């Protein structure tokens, strides 16, 4: 599956299953800090950042609020996904 993980003004196009709330937070923690030479923990192995994908193939979206808002381009993409019927999950909401 292909999804979008948004963290503040950063975003990742991700290959992997729809993550749980806890896994989405772990992915953001792991990918938001540059760690030269670090290996991906086994628990995060089902997901990987993808660099060449078509937006039409995105199947899930998760927003993890950060210190700033999503960029205007990502906000448009989230609106487009929502218009296609994809639920935009927000990690800060209790009813995820």
The torsion angles phi and psi of 5, rounded to 5 degrees, stand at: -115, 115
pTM, 2 dp: 0.91
Residue 20 tokens read as 């749980």
Domain ranges of the chain: 2-90
pLDDT tens for each residue of the chain, 96 residues long: 999 999 999 999 999 999 999 999 999 999 988 888 888 899 999 999 999 999 999 999 999 999 899 999 999 999 999 999 999 999 988 776
Integer Cα distance of 29 and 96 in angstroms: 19
Q: Following CA atoms 29, 84, 79, 67 in sequence, which dihedral angle do they give, to the nearest 10 degrees? A: -10
């Amino acid at each position: 599956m292909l999804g979008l993980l948004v963290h503040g003004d950063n975003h990742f196009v991700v290959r992997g299953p729809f993550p749980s709330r806890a896994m989405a937070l772990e992915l953001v923690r792991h990918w938001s800090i540059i760690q030269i030479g670090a290996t991906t923990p086994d628990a995060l192995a089902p997901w990987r950042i993808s660099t060449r994908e078509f937006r039409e193939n995105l199947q899930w979206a998760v927003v993890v609020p950060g210190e700033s808002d999503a960029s205007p381009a990502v906000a448009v993409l989230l609106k487009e996904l929502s218009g296609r019927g994809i639920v935009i999950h927000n990690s800060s909401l209790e009813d995820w």
